Amino acid sequence: MSHQSELIATDIDAYLAQHERKELLRFITCGSVDDGKSTLIGRLFCDTKMIYEDQLAAIEKESTTQGSTGGNFDPALFTDGLKEEREQGITIDVAYRYFSTAKRKFIIADTPGHVQYTRNMATGASTADLAVILVDARNGVVEQTKRHSFIVTLLGIRHILVAVNKMDLVDYQESVFDEVRQQYRDFASRLDIPDLHFIPMSALQGDNVVEHSERMAWYDGPTFLNFLDNIYIGSDRNFEDFRFPVQFVNRPHLDFRGFCGTISSGIVRTGDEIVVLPSRKTSKIKEIVTADGNIDEAFTPMSVTLTLEDEVDCSRGDMIVRPGNIPQLEQQFDAVVVWMSDDAMVPGKQYVFKQTSKSVTGTFQTLRYQIDVNNLSRKNAPSLGLNEIGRCQVKLNQPLAFDGYRRNRSTGAFIVIDRITNVTVGAGMILNRLTADDRADHWDEEPQSESLQRQISQVTADERQARYGQKPVTVLFTGLPGSGKTTTAYGVERQLFQRGRSAAVLDGQNIRLGLSRDLSFSGEGRSENVRRVAEVSKLFNDAGLICLISMVAPNEETRQRAAEVIGQENFIVIHLNAPDEICAERHRALKQNFDESVEVPTNYEIPAETDLVIHTDTNSPEECVQQVMELLNTKNVID
């Protein structure tokens, strides 16, 4: 269904050409049950005059018997087409709707809110550019809001619009909108959301859907339709890494042999050198063939046929790439998996893993942990059940060419198929190799020389403990920048010194100025920085000293790896907790001339298990130090 245009009546060819050139935006509506997802879509179509008259008449008639608005017009019936959906007033399956404006074409996926239909929601979100998360203004951020927010960020959706709906039921109060917005921001601070927006609206009444609401004059932002028309998504696509999974080999006659497929990412031109994976045979692009004739250049997400200058072995499931930009070609990787079957995932069982056009068999070697999407914590579990999410180690029976999902959603995603029933039982997002167990920051690497041996001191640990009167431990002070880690760590060092104890502070900034000056602030750089500090801390502990580490250390798995290096029995975790706005204010005060985008992590993970949580916004620095000293006494670190 399309917007009204004069060209339709005067020049249909020009209209069709204009329509074809429009940018396509895919978005989903999600949120908790009864937050108004289907109502919003119905109201959008109704107010933009994009519902046919017979459809509109049918909805008005059915609103009296099946609607949830007391007999009044119910826009939700436009998308809730299943009998069960209308009877219960909920969305069960994903409903797709299509429309366009003068600027863009849109595909909407109306996804269900019930927890039991999480797999349906994940399916709708897998191809979306934007997620519209509806929040009932009366209830605020609830469990399903958090669940869906986590899933859309997990699936790599960069743009999120939080629609605070049902403002008519709270008298259009600005204070209610501000409260809900702050609730969501507090939760979203733990997620990776590059682009976050908020709009107050009443989908049922049409406030701020298509036209600005006079009843919310205090809101001066865009309407929902205006936001959809203008949100920038041009930089979301990956034009750097050329990836062309071969879907079909076209051989209509003896003189033509072309490889058909959709360009997953990147750009290709005639004459470009290419490599075919997994054979690693090389050639050059001879022609780029389309239904409209040959072209000199093609880019994602175009569907084309490539011909090569040389006769190389290339078939369905192979991938054509550039020689200097090759994806990982491995049989083993880590992935985050959403399980979609009533039958639980069985580690060690053979499944079919389908990625792009290639299908291979393999197993889940182990389930590293299950993710509780309600509070983002991790827990040990033997398997994954329906709608559960976890990080798994996958081992395939033959190599697969892939990229990390964050870099390339097409080559970094896969589905899991049961070999017996041929039913899709799961979907996975491949983690970047550098963030997996065999990352390049050396956690598991062996020393370069096999002849190296660990030397044993002639002074025993008991002798050191008797001499210093203390148990050598490592205390990690972790928290957001500005939470008070360094202040507390140095305060504890002073207290220990005054009591005649021996301690040393390893401050993150000092480390960055020396030992880790070569590392970036990326996820890999932070991980390697923690590893180096952990190794130094272990040396301090071996010398009988108490080591106090002040670092952000945002990743929970990295903190656990540090604990393994030092020894769980000697590792103490203290979380310095303060509201985000206070941390940001303190950080700005200390770092006025520092580029915060480089240092401040956007995805800080609160420690799953801590020995102590200190609220630095309500405790003075002296009180914070005292709490740590009491903990060290309790753990018999010092007398």
pLDDT digits (tens, 9 = 90+) for 24-73: 888 888 887 777 777 888 888 877 777 666 666 666 666 555 555 545 55
DSSP label of 605? P
Give 587's pLDDT tier (boundaries 50, 70, 90): low
Q: How many CA within 13 A on the CB side of residue 311?
A: 4
Residue 303 pLDDT greater than 80, yes or no:
yes
Q: How far, in Å, CA of 74 to CA of 53, rounded?
A: 15
Which range, of 123-127, 363-367, 482-486, averages the lowest pLDDT? 123-127
| 520 token code pair | 């970036």
Q: Quick one: 336 and 293 in the same domain?
A: no
Q: Quick one: 431 and 291 in the same domain?
A: no
Specify the pairing of strand 503-507 against strand 413-417: unpaired
> What pLDDT is stored for residue 35 in this prediction?
77
Q: Quick one: 190 and 335 in the same domain?
A: no
Closest to 320 in 3D by CA, of 305, 339, 336, 330: 305
Q: Is 449 exposed, middle or buried (0-12, 13-18, 19+ CB in 10 A)?
A: exposed
Q: How far, in Å, CA of 118 to CA of 325, rounded?
A: 36
The answer to whether 432 touches 407, Cβ cutoff 8 Å, is yes
Q: Quick one: 426 and 475 in the same domain?
A: no
Average pLDDT of the residues of the chain: 83
């602030």: which residue's tokens? 521
| 271 token code pair | 């004459």
> What pLDDT is stored for residue 38 in this prediction?
78
Q: Quick one: 79 and 211 in the same domain?
A: yes
> What pLDDT is stored for residue 92 in this prediction?
42
Q: How many CA within 13 A on the CB side of residue 356?
A: 29
Q: How many CA within 13 A on the CB side of residue 451?
A: 0
Give the mean pLDDT of 612-619.
Answer: 91
Q: Is residue 449 part of a domain?
A: no
Give the mean pLDDT of 592-619.
Answer: 71
Structural domain containing residue 258: 243-321
| Structural domain total, the chain | 4
CA 400 to each of CA 241, 272, 316: distance values in angstroms, whole numbers, following the listed order? 17, 23, 13
> What pLDDT is stored for residue 51 in this prediction?
67
Residue 105 pLDDT greater than 90, yes or no:
no
Give the mean pLDDT of 381-394.
Answer: 89
Report the CATH number that the domain containing residue 124 is assigned in CATH. Answer: 3.40.50.300
Element (H, E) at 523: helix 523-542
Q: Quick one: 166 and 216 in the same domain?
A: yes
Q: Quick one: 215 and 248 in the same domain?
A: no
Q: How far, in Å, CA of 96 to CA of 79, rounded?
A: 8
Report the CATH number that the domain containing residue 283 is assigned in CATH. Answer: 2.40.30.10
**Digit-coded pLDDT (tens) for 132-172:** 999 999 999 888 888 888 888 888 888 999 999 999 999 99
Q: Is residue 158 part of a domain?
A: yes
| 219 token code pair | 């809101």
| 108 token code pair | 């909407």
Q: Is residue 409 part of a domain?
A: yes
Q: Is residue 338 part of a domain?
A: yes
Choosing from 271, 290, 321, the residue where a domain stops is: 321
Q: Quick one: 92 and 199 in the same domain?
A: yes
> Using H for helix, E for strand and C for coil, what is the string for 379-400?
ECCCCCCCCCEEEEEEEEEEEE
Q: How far, in Å, CA of 492 to CA of 507, rounded?
A: 13
**Digit-coded pLDDT (tens) for 320-376:** 999 988 898 889 999 999 898 889 999 999 999 999 999 999 999 989 888 887 777
Q: How far, in Å, CA of 60 to CA of 69, rounded?
A: 11
Choosing from 435, 453, 478, the residue where a domain stops is: 435
Choosing from 435, 451, 474, the residue where a domain stops is: 435
Q: Quick one: 370 and 343 in the same domain?
A: yes
Q: How far, in Å, CA of 427 to CA of 122, rounded?
A: 9
